[in-house]
């Protein structure tokens, strides 16, 4: 026996905001397109990617520490307005999805953990 377990390893990435390691599926991939940071929730856009928790705290930390230009290896500041809008919208959808009661009296929980 090789000593390996049969369970597949879950890929991990580091959040550029809080610097904590987390499962790749729990983080939002960010790419740079024409000088702007854009969310890549499906992880299919070309180019170098950086990962951040889809929370405004981690996003604010990353912007304040200038983590995006460093992660993407570019000079100067990057526009993160679209990214902030996406994170706020995702937080609003999560609040609505989990906070409203269903007809049966239980809270509504989506079958998918991430927004597309």
* Strand, helix or coil for residue 21: strand
Q: Report the chain (116 residues): mean pLDDT per 10 consecutive residues.
A: 69 96 96 94 94 95 95 93 92 61 39 44
Residue-level pLDDT at 7: 73
Among 20, 11, 16, residue whose Cα is nearest residue 49: 16
* Alpha-carbon gap, residue 20 to 78, rounded angstroms: 22
Q: Give the pTM.
A: 0.73
CB within 8 Å of 77: residues ≥ 6 apart = 66, 69
């Amino acid at each position: 026996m090789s000593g390996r377990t049969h369970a597949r390893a879950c890929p991990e990435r580091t959040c550029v905001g809080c610097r904590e390691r987390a499962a790749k599926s729990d983080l939002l991939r960010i790419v740079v397109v024409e000088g702007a940071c854009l969310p890549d929730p499906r992880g299919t856009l070309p180019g170098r990617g950086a990962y951040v928790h889809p929370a405004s705290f981690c996003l604010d930390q990353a912007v304040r520490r200038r983590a995006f230009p460093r992660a993407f290896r570019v000079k100067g500041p990057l526009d993160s307005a679209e990214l902030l809008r996406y994170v706020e919208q995702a937080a609003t959808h999560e609040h609505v999805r989990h906070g409203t009661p269903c007809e049966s009296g239980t809270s509504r929980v989506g079958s998918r953990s991430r927004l597309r």
